[in-house]
Amino acid sequence: MTAPAPPAPPAVAERPGAGVLPADERQALRRAVGLLALDRVRLLWAVLAGSAGLGSAVALTATSAWLIARASQMPPVLELSVAAVAVRTFGISRAVLRYLERLASHLVALRGMAALRETVYRRLAAGRTDAVAGLRRGDLLARTGADVDAVGDVVVRALLPAVVAAVVGVGSVVLVAWLHPAAGAVLAVCLLVAGVLGPWLSMRSARLAEHAQVLARGELAATAMTMVDGAAELTVSRRVAPLLRDLGRTERELAAAKDAAARPAALAAGIDTLAMGAAVLGALVLGIPATVAGTLQPVELAVVVLTPLAAFEGTAMLGPAAVQLVRSAGSAVRVMALLDAADPDGPEPPAGPTPAPAPAGSAPAAAPAGSAPAAVGPALAAPALTTGAHPGGPWLRARGLAVGWPGGPVVAAGLDLDLAPCRALAVVGPSGIGKTTLLLTLAGLLPPRAGTVTLDGTDVWGRSREEVSRQVVLTAEEAHVFATTVLENLRVARGDLTEDAAADLLRRAGLGEWLAGLPAGTATGLGTDAATISGGERRRLLLARALASPARLLLLDEPAEHLDPATADRLVTDLLRAGRDVAGRGVLLVTHRLAALGAADEVVVLGPAGDAGESPPAPATVQARGSHAELLATVPAYRWAAEQEERR
């Protein structure tokens, strides 16, 4: 059963009038950069190497200008030897230092990206489920992939070039001002124009293109994921060609957005060139009269005029750096919005309409034909379960529980459940009644809308995911099977699982013959999302993974869905009997089928509490509970539904 889609984290709206870098983007970027865990020592080395490399370029130009001008005066060769060696030194050191700067900066950035991505994964794994469930897979991939990379790129492509350009620019101005103060002032003004006005124009124009690029990249990733995941179904339904056309249109939109983003970079480069020309022209206009007056030597004039040609090499990098800063800020907003939405201690989404429970004694709606019934039974409260009723271990208890996605309506209310080792429970009910939402709430992945869920007397929602997962494991209906070996798929639940233990788990899950037929046993690779195995084998593989977990309480969502009746009944029976194994597990599963529930200690029937078609619908409630035999004997609708299964 598919859970209702919760509200997605807010999208980033484009605000052209909010300035080139609004306050919320600056704050998000600072927070995201803080999560990069940058190595400050290596970053300092990168700044020093970059400044020295670009400084070598300026020194190379200045020394070459002095050497050429001095050589024209035909001095003794020995007077030129030092300058000649300096030219070679600066030429070689420029390339070497540039390489060292790139090496150090990329090492810092790549490690920072890895740290940020790990932080994102950890927080999402330990955070609110609705933060991820409300996103399309392509959007989630874009946020954890391209957006994280863009945040890391701000170090190499924005911050570092800006610092290096500032350091070298100051040094160049000092050098020229030492020879001719007025020419140094002109150079300073031109560097400010190229280093401030050009990047500002780039940032302002880049904002207009960035939003379109973000939407196009997200749509591109989502469409590609759809085509990869549903290739077979799309081929059969002849939907591949329309999706390819959509993909091509999205790619063209992305290319157009990139072209639009390239225009401000060209404008910034033009301003940089104009500023450099103005600096050279100003040096000539001021330097020639000084040379004629004898206050500036002809050789020094050459240095003053030609040095700006290299000094503007640093400002040429600021246009692309400004564009990258805008892109990284937008990515930081999306990444931090995802992390904030996943924060368990963050603010709750605004609640949707909460329908009132049905009045006491109201009759439930009739169940659809062939589905689990919604019938009133005599005992609707959870049976008394004392600590002596199970041989120790975790104890999951729900009292007066109401469940629903944050921001949405309550879908089920008034639920009382007890799960302990060596106890098997089954929850049945029609599709959309709230069974999956119930499991997510019991596992601590969703907060209770009312009532309590405790694990050994402690609130589940208030405990860390790591603590809860040691004792409670949830296997979703469409749990992912990774494109790796059988053994590694089982090690998702327990990392130290051996091959022999994995083989034993597979046999207990009913996959002994299947395992014997594999070419490499547990080392056999599986296709993407278990495409190389049948639906029944996939379900039993997920069962083996659940059994591999050290947790003693298992929550299983529709484990027999999409299987033939005979296979489904065998699988459900095996699952319910898992509580009697050596580990002494407690099992709670939700299912549509009733035939195999004789192995359950208790069956809980959920059904609508109000009239069919009521708007808003009343939360579902427990309509009947008891053993399978008791329900067959006392609840006509339950007995009728079980008989319908036998006839099909």
Domain boundaries, the chain: 23-342, 396-471+552-647, 485-550
What would the two tokens of residue 101 be? 């700067």
Total Cβ atoms within 10 A of residue 476:
19
pLDDT range class, residue 285, cuts 50, 70, 90: very high
pLDDT range class, residue 239, cuts 50, 70, 90: confident
- Give the pLDDT of residue 9: 44
> Are 319 and 272 contacting, i.e. CB atoms less than 8 angstroms apart?
yes
- Give the pLDDT of residue 220: 74
- Give the pLDDT of residue 246: 82
- Give the pLDDT of residue 391: 52
Calculate helix-pair angle for 77-126, 40-71, nearest 10 degrees.
Answer: 160
What would the two tokens of residue 65 be? 């200008």
The lowest-confidence range among 142-146, 352-356, 560-564 is 352-356
- Percent of the chain clearing pLDDT 70 (strictly above): 84
- Give the pLDDT of residue 619: 87
Max mean pLDDT among 179-193, 265-279, 431-445, 454-468 falls in 179-193
Distance of alpha carbon 252 from alpha carbon 648, whole angstroms: 52
23-342: CATH architecture: Up-down Bundle (1.20)
Query: Is residue 351 pLDDT above 60, yes or no?
Result: no
Considering only CA atoms, which of 603, 591, 612 is closest in space to residue 366? 612
| Tens-place pLDDT, residues 93-120 | 999 999 999 999 999 999 999 999 999 9
> Are 266 and 215 contacting, i.e. CB atoms less than 8 angstroms apart?
no
Do 23-342 and 396-471+552-647 share a fold?
no
Report, as an integer, the average pLDDT of 36-58: 93
Query: Is residue 11 pLDDT above 50, yes or no?
Result: no
pLDDT range class, residue 368, cuts 50, 70, 90: very low
Please, what is the average pLDDT of the chain?
A: 82
Distance of alpha carbon 297 from alpha carbon 638, whole angstroms: 106
639, burial (CB in 10 Å: exposed 0-12, middle 13-18, buried 19+): middle
Query: Is residue 145 pLDDT above 80, yes or no?
Result: yes
Dihedral angle sign, alpha carbons of residues 139, 143, 145, 147: positive
Query: Is residue 448 pLDDT above 50, yes or no?
Result: yes
Total Cβ atoms within 10 A of residue 302:
21
Query: Is residue 153 pLDDT above 70, yes or no?
Result: yes
Report, as an integer, the average pLDDT of 234-256: 81
More confident residue, 17 or 382: 382
Contacts of residue 91, Cβ cutoff 8 Å, sequence gap at least 6: 56, 60
Max mean pLDDT among 176-180, 229-233, 388-392 falls in 176-180
Total Cβ atoms within 10 A of residue 177:
17
The lowest-confidence range among 131-140, 257-266, 352-361 is 352-361
- Give the pLDDT of residue 113: 93
| Tens-place pLDDT, residues 69-88 | 888 888 888 888 888 898 99
What would the two tokens of residue 510 be? 């009913």
Return the amino acid letter for 329.
Answer: A
3-state SS, 201-259, equals: HHHHHHHHHHHHHHHHHHHHHHHHHHHHHCHHHHHHCCCHHHHHHHHHHHHHHHHHHHH
3-state SS, 163-185, equals: HHHHHHHHHHHHHHHHHCHHHHH
- Give the pLDDT of residue 51: 94
Query: Is residue 385 pLDDT above 70, yes or no?
Result: no
- Give the pLDDT of residue 236: 80
Report, as an integer, the average pLDDT of 155-177: 93
Q: Looking only at Cα atoms, what is the longest distance across the chain?
A: 118
| Tens-place pLDDT, residues 301-326 | 999 999 999 999 999 888 889 889 98
- Give the pLDDT of residue 345: 66
Look at strands 450-455 and 396-403 and give their pairing: antiparallel
Query: Is residue 260 pLDDT above 90, yes or no?
Result: no
- Give the pLDDT of residue 568: 77
The lowest-confidence range among 82-96, 518-532, 606-620 is 606-620
Which helix (H) or strand (E) segment is 418 a member of? Answer: strand 412-419
Give yes or no for a cis peptide into 616 (omega within 30° of 0): yes
Residue 604 pairs in a beta bridge with 427, 625
- Give the pLDDT of residue 4: 44
42, 44, 235, 324, 328 from 49: Cα distances, Å: 10, 9, 55, 22, 24
Query: Is residue 130 pLDDT above 90, yes or no?
Result: no
Query: Is residue 361 pLDDT above 50, yes or no?
Result: no
Total Cβ atoms within 10 A of residue 149:
16
Distance of alpha carbon 101 from alpha carbon 393, whole angstroms: 57
Integer Rg of the chain from CA? 34
- Give the pLDDT of residue 577: 79
pLDDT range class, residue 355, cuts 50, 70, 90: very low
Query: Is residue 1 pLDDT above 60, yes or no?
Result: no
Report, as an integer, the average pLDDT of 434-442: 90
The lowest-confidence range among 101-110, 127-136, 467-476, 547-556 is 127-136
Query: Is residue 423 pLDDT above 50, yes or no?
Result: yes
Its CATH class, for the domain covering 396-471+552-647, is alpha beta
pTM here is 0.69
Distance of alpha carbon 453 from alpha carbon 460, whole angstroms: 6
pLDDT range class, residue 369, cuts 50, 70, 90: very low
Distance of alpha carbon 438 from alpha carbon 521, whole angstroms: 37
Look at strands 412-419 and 396-403 and give their pairing: antiparallel
- Percent of the chain clearing pLDDT 90 (strictly above): 32
- Give the pLDDT of residue 19: 60
Residue that has been written with the tokens 């950890």 in this structure: 122
More confident residue, 96 or 207: 96
- Per-residue DSSP letter, 13: -
pLDDT range class, residue 582, cuts 50, 70, 90: low
Helix ranges (H only) for 72-180 are: 77-126, 130-133, 137-142, 148-154, 160-179
Strand order in the sheet with 412-419: 412-419, 396-403, 450-455, 458-459
What would the two tokens of residue 124 be? 């999402």
Residue 622 pairs in a beta bridge with 606
Contacts of residue 78, Cβ cutoff 8 Å, sequence gap at least 6: none
Distance of alpha carbon 281 from alpha carbon 301, whole angstroms: 12
- Per-residue DSSP letter, 597: G
Considering only CA atoms, which of 69, 67, 48 is closest in space to residue 59? 67
CB environment 113-125: b (16+ within 10 A), e (fewer): bebbbebbeebbe
Report, as an integer, the average pLDDT of 294-307: 91
